């Protein structure tokens, strides 16, 4: 029977196997239960996962147990995990290797065959959800007859659709029937696409995923007592949320829930990634079908999805970039070279400066001093920081003691003398080179020669800022993204003078601030803004040439970017965007066109291209229409998409050639963490390879 999976097993010859360890247990009543522990033998830093060899071992173990059940030797089987984990889900590095459809089908089928044993073992099966249980891990639990969950079980969920798959080991079939279609859609669609939200043990219990909830301190003991009570008929399990879509009203609830989820995902993705839509399709088709029939649909869907670029890109983005590269930045000097930062100075007390000060004090718990030209601005900055701390306390994110401590650590001054004992001073003043040069000259006059000077500039030359410094080796670009508290990316830019100790300190500080740090050379706009501005410049140009606004703004919809170009423009603010574009134009020439129309809008004080009409429909802002002058050479949406793809391939190719970043992976990670670009594009360069832009423009692909 395992013949068909031999090739699959060999494909993952180096899999870290999660073993199926069994122990025979006599419960207090005398009932015989076999407790199966899923354990990869490694500590809690290495979650147990499900690869083909793991599934084959589980399958053969369960097969043997079903034989013992048939022989009347055992009364029940329970399955649990090593401490802190039931199972973290499918082994993504294994799934990544399932390139041909045969292997993908085999893997999908193997999961079903294994889990079906749990669903029909001949004796009741119990999942004791002791810890993290995601994707295929939670589907193991769903296959069992009963479930208990630990109050501290951490993350539970079905994140597959976010990772380019569907919960296709029957999760998509069993969950809605267990907890109702509305809640199931939240778990299957809404949560994964809401910052990958997961459920706590208590939430899972409330939804009806588990039949009992116990403290972690005696979780297994209580769970086995539960099993004993169920087996001896002393406990009746009721599932008020469980439904059967054979009932017409229930079937209608399934349809409605799917429609709602569809509306949610349309708003998020606009159809740009296939997985959540495939999930909805299988969910809908499952209505009125048996589990075995649904399984065939699930296997077909998984096979299809595993063959898509979107899936491969997502795994690349999630596993290789966010999980690995994001945690171990490429090009960061040894952390041993980092110097301690015991006091931070922030030049400026405006919104950006205040956000920076707030982040520093929250994450570093060291004194932070903000300065500005007059006391009223300083007071306003401090009031903003205090207000944000109070909000965090109100939300329960910070205790009153922690808020008190943070407030006591933040101070303000109108004199830069306050920086005299700081180890790190960052400026967030107006984006004007001479202003920043002046600021650094003043700061350098009071600080030690070791104190790191950092700039949060988004488009100016760090090198030029350092030209007149006595100690330019301690100057570094330290570029955050708005909103500072939310966006994970930090671009760290060094000049020809910046020494390795300064860069190491910047990376160590970035890590302490819990940011994803990427090293960039000192080139105008560094990484993210250069890519974004090139994109916006092309769309703006197409508009200026005569393309109607709607076509221009929606031309990139197939990419599934988080917002349209004109929406982004409005969010950044037209004057700021224009200012940065001018800097880029000065640095790189005509690739970054300064739009006359944008200038008209700025001059007319129009802030938005789009407004909503009374029906809530997006409409061109008449004020904008009044000042805009378009050409007579419109482009089609397809032409604009192609133009943008080619422009991005060109720009990123140039960035690599200029040494702005070490590898295309850095651009991809930057676009994901700094601009929220989707994982199904792999950031951007895998997508550019797949649509042929890389070869069209650069003559070769970015990858392989």
Footprint of other proteins on this chain (CB under 8 A)? Answer: 21-23, 25-28, 35-37, 39, 41, 80, 82-83, 215, 217-218, 220-221, 224-225
Closer to other proteins by CB, 35 or 528: give it. 35
- Is residue 345 within 8 A of residue 424, CB to CB? The reply is yes
**Looking at residue 222, what DSSP letter applies?**
H
Number of Cβ within 10 Å of residue 133's Cβ equals 34
3-state helix, strand, coil in the chain (%, to 5): 55, 15, 35
- Is residue 471 within 8 A of residue 444, CB to CB? The reply is yes
Closer to other proteins by CB, 75 or 427: give it. 75
Closer to other proteins by CB, 41 or 659: give it. 41
How far, CA to CA in Å, does 623 sit from each of 41, 328, 551, 634?
Answer: 66, 49, 19, 22
Number of Cβ within 10 Å of residue 24's Cβ equals 11
**Looking at residue 497, what DSSP letter applies?**
S
Closer to other proteins by CB, 24 or 293: give it. 24
Closer to other proteins by CB, 216 or 291: give it. 216
State the nearest-atom distance from the C-beta of 117 to other proteins, in Å. 18
State the nearest-atom distance from the C-beta of 210 to other proteins, in Å. 18
Token couple for 564: 């349209």
Closer to other proteins by CB, 221 or 658: give it. 221
Q: How far apart are CA 209 and CA 297, in angstroms?
A: 23
In DSSP terms, 493 is beta-bridged to 477, 520
Neighbouring residues of 664: CB distance < 8 A, sequence distance ≥ 6: 652, 656, 685, 702, 703
Instruction: State how beta strands 19-26 and 32-39 pair.
Output: antiparallel
Closer to other proteins by CB, 50 or 523: give it. 50
- Is residue 275 within 8 A of residue 298, CB to CB? The reply is no
Closer to other proteins by CB, 127 or 295: give it. 127
In DSSP terms, 491 is beta-bridged to 479, 518
Neighbouring residues of 435: CB distance < 8 A, sequence distance ≥ 6: 429
- What's the maximum distance between 2 C-alpha atoms anywhere in the chain? 87
Q: What angle do CA 665, 559, 689 make, to 5 degrees?
A: 45
In DSSP terms, 21 is beta-bridged to 37
């Amino acid at each position: 029977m395992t013949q068909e999976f031999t090739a699959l097993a060999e494909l993952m010859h180096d899999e870290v196997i999660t073993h199926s360890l069994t122990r025979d247990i006599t419960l207090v009543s005398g009932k015989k239960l076999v407790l199966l522990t899923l354990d990869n033998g490694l500590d809690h830093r290495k979650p147990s996962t499900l690869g083909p060899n793991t599934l084959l071992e589980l399958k053969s173990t369960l097969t043997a147990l079903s034989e013992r059940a048939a022989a009347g030797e055992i009364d029940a089987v329970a399955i649990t995990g090593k401490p802190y984990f039931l199972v973290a889900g499918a082994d993504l590095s294994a799934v990544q290797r399932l390139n041909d459809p045969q292997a993908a089908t085999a893997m999908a089928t193997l999961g079903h065959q294994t889990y079906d044993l749990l669903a029909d073992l001949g004796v009741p099966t119990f999942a004791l959800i002791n810890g993290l249980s995601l994707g295929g891990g939670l589907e193991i639990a769903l296959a069992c007859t009963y479930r208990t969950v630990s109050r501290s079980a951490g993350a539970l969920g079905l994140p597959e659709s976010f990772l380019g798959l569907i919960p296709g080991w029957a999760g998509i079939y069993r969950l809605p029937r267990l907890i109702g279609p509305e809640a199931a859609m939240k778990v299957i669609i809404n949560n994964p696409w809401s910052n990958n939200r997961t459920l706590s043990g208590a939430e899972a219990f409330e939804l009806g995923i588990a039949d009992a909830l116990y403290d972690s301190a005696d979780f297994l003991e209580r769970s086995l007592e539960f099993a004993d009570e169920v087996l001896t008929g002393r406990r009746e399990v009721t599932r008020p949320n469980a439904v059967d879509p054979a009932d017409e009203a229930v079937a209608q609830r399934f349809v409605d829930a799917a429609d709602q989820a569809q509306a949610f995902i349309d708003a998020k993705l606009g159809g740009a990634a296939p997985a959540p839509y495939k999930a909805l399709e299988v969910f809908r088709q499952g209505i009125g079908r048996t589990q075995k029939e649904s399984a065939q649909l699930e296997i077909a869907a998984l096979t299809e999805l595993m063959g898509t670029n979107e899936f491969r890109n997502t795994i690349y983005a999630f596993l290789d970039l966010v999980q690995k590269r994001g945690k171990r930045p490429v090009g960061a000097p040894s952390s041993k070279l980092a110097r301690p930062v015991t006091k931070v100075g922030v030049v400026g007390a405006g919104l950006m400066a205040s956000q920076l000060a707030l982040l520093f004090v929250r994450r570093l718990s060291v004194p932070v001093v903000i300065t500005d030209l007059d006391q009223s601005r300083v007071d306003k900055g401090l009031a903003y920081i205090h207000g944000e701390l109070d909000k965090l306390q109100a939300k329960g994110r910070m205790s009153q003691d922690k808020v008190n401590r943070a407030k006591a650590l933040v101070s303000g001054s109108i004199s830069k003398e306050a920086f005299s004992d700081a180890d790190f001073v960052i400026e967030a003043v107006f984006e004007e080179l001479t202003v920043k040069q002046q600021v650094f000259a003043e700061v350098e006059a009071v600080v030690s020669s070791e104190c790191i000077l950092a700039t949060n500039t988004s488009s100016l030359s760090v090198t030029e800022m350092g030209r007149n410094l006595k100690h330019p080796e301690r100057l570094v670009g330290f570029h955050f993204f708005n909103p500072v508290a939310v966006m994970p990316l930090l671009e760290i830019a060094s000049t020809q003078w910046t020494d390795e100790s300064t860069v190491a300190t910047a990376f160590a500080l970035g890590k302490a601030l819990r940011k994803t740090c990427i090293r960039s050379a000192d080139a105008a706009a560094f990484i993210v803004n250069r890519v974004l501005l090139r994109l916006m410049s092309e769309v703006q140009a197409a508009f200026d040439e005569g393309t109607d606004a709607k076509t221009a703004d929606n031309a990139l919809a197939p990419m599934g970017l988080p917002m349209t170009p004109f929406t982004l423009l409005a969010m950044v603010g037209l004057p700021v965007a224009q200012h940065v574009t001018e800097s880029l134009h000065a640095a790189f020439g005509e690739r970054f066109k300064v739009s006359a129309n944008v200038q008209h809008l700025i001059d007319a004080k129009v802030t938005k291209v789009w407004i909503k009409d009374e029906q809530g429909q997006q409409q061109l802002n008449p004020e904008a229409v009044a000042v805009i002058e378009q050409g007579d050479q419109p482009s089609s949406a397809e032409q604009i998409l192609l133009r943008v793809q080619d422009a991005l391939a060109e720009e990123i190719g140039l960035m690599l050639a200029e040494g702005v970043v070490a590898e295309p992976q850095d651009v991809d990670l930057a676009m994901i963490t700094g601009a929220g670009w989707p994982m199904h594009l792999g950031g951007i360069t895998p997508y550019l390879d797949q649509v042929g832009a890389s070869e069209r423009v650069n003559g070769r692909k970015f990858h392989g």
